Amino acid sequence: MAELLLGNVEGDVPDEEINAFLQKYGFPPYDEIQRIEGAGRPAALLRYNHLTDDFLRTLQPRIHNIFWHNRTISAQIVPVREEN
């Protein structure tokens, strides 16, 4: 499983539009999306159940710091977290 954190994504952008944006840049469809509210910097956490961090890392530069929906989007690979 791999996770991609898209920072500075406005909360009213539909999930389907995020998916279409990512696919435009070569990303496969995500399996889950979780919205994260922030003080002026909302984000979306995308889970890819069948991808590796390394694979996402090859795609990440395509969208990091791109201007979309009147905001500069950040894209970060979330390190694997250990579950207790």
CATH number of the domain where residue 70 is located: 3.30.70.330
Structure tokens at 44: 């979306």
CA pair distance 84, 70, nearest whole angstrom: 40
Is the pTM higher than 0.75? The answer reads yes
Report residue 72's pLDDT band, with 50, 70 and 90 as the boundaries. Answer: very high
State which residues form the domain around 72: 2-78
pLDDT-based confidence at residue 39 (cuts at 50, 70, 90): low
> Is 83 a domain residue?
no
- Tell me how many domains the chain contains: 1
**What is the predicted pLDDT for the residue at 37?**
87
84 pLDDT exceeds 70?
no
Looking at the domain assignment, is residue 23 inside a domain?
A: yes
Residue 12 lies in a domain: yes
CA separation for the pair 29, 48 (Å, rounded):
8
Residue 84, in any domain of the structure: no
Q: For residue 71, tell me if it sits in a domain.
A: yes
Q: How far apart are CA 5 and CA 8, in angstroms?
A: 10
8 in any annotated domain: yes
Q: Bridge-partner residues for 6, per DSSP?
A: 44, 75
Q: Give yes or no for residue 17 having a pLDDT over 70.
A: yes
Identity of the amino acid at 66? I
Mean pLDDT confidence for 36-60: 91
